[in-house]
Amino acid sequence: MLLKKNLPVDLSDRECKLSLTVQYAVEKADIPSRQQFRKWVKAALKKSAEIVIRIVDEPEGEILNRDFRGKNTATNVLTFVYEDEAPLLGDIVLCAPVIYSEARQHGKDLIAHYAHLTIHGVLHLQGHDHICDDDAIAMESLETKILTRLGYPDPYIIQH
């Protein structure tokens, strides 16, 4: 992917090694820092990985969602898995305007919503899915467990 701002971070966490690159393709003051993204990725990661997180605007989010999922609107998070064996290799795309709008609409803290969607993407990279009800329940439970361990509220409780 083309990048406007590329911030590489190499780290290791016990037996899991992580190479994380955060690309900021939007200019907004309320987007999490690379340290926050690193903390969230590490909390959800169970395998060594090379991950790129790209924060995009709505037009780029819409193009990616259309080209790869056949949907003509931007979505909050897209996960692209290139290698599903350790080390994992993939991209997580977060659409800043959609995330902002969802957080506001549902009365969620913006940073907590970014944490949730980042963790959601990392779980997808590791093979978790929510296509069928049982898988959705398992994935949501795992997301909630990770987020509450980090001090964030259950993301599936909508605040108004």
List per-residue pLDDT tens for the chain, 160 residues long.
433 344 444 333 347 899 999 999 998 779 999 999 999 999 999 999 999 999 999 999 999 999 999 999 999 999 999 998 889 999 999 999 999 999 999 999 999 999 999 999 999 999 998 888 888 899 999 999 999 999 999 999 866 5
Say how far apart CA 127 and CA 142 lie, in whole Å: 13
Find tokens 């999922």 and name the residue.
69
Structural domain boundaries in the chain: 6-149
Q: Which CATH class for the 6-149 domain?
A: alpha beta
As to burial, measured by CB atoms within 10 angstroms (0-12 exposed, 13-18 middle, 19+ buried), residue 35 is exposed
pTM of the model: 0.88
Say how far apart CA 5 and CA 14 lie, in whole Å: 29
